[in-house]
Amino acid sequence: MLFVLQVADAASKVVITGDDKMQFNKREFEVAAGQVVELEFKNVGKLPKAAMGHNLVILKEGVSALSFGSKALKAGASSTNPLPKSVMDEVLAHTKLLGPGESETIEFVAPAKKGLYQFVCTFPGHYSIMRGIMVVK
């Protein structure tokens, strides 16, 4: 009798950093549809969390980072709560708010639907320039 062991595809590992210039080091990354994604986000800045904290929020298909950032701000986003619960229905995955030298690794399953999914930092004021695209292939 022959047994065949099926092994799931290994997780796709992505590392992204945010800095004191309000920049992600990657503006785009690719993942396979339906694949487990391991995302490590690091705040490589030196400024205090209350002044320059960063998070990384991956949005659902069709959600604009600019409009989402504005919506989060109007919903009460602050330096201590940059991602209000009332806007979570548009979020695919997210990290917590990180201070200087902090990092967090999250795992999520990439959408089954191929396309472009925007990501953004929702610390107040950062969304206007601190954003990018996750390409699902």
Contact 57, 83 (CB under 8 A): yes
Neighbours of 115 (CB within 10 A): 13
Query: So what CATH class is 12-136?
Result: mainly beta
Task: Say which residue the tokens 């206007």 belong to.
Answer: 128
pLDDT band at 29 (very low <50, low <70, confident <90, very high): very high
Contact 98, 53 (CB under 8 A): yes
Query: The pTM is what?
Result: 0.91
Q: Which of 127, 121, 133 is nearest to 66 (CA)?
A: 127
At residue 3, the pLDDT reads 45
How confident is the prediction for the chain on average, in pLDDT? 93
At residue 66, the pLDDT reads 97
Cα–Cα distance, 115 to 112 (Å, whole number):
9
How does DSSP classify residue 22? S
Whether 90 shows a pLDDT value over 50: the answer reads yes
Cα–Cα distance, 112 to 26 (Å, whole number):
23
Segment 49-82, tens digit of pLDDT = 999 999 999 999 999 999 999 999 999 999 999 9
Mean pLDDT computed over 73-98:
97
pLDDT band at 12 (very low <50, low <70, confident <90, very high): confident
Where does 19-100 have alpha helices with state H?
49-52, 65-74
Domain boundaries of the chain, sorted by first residue:
12-136
Take residue 25 and report the two structure tokens written for it: 């080091």
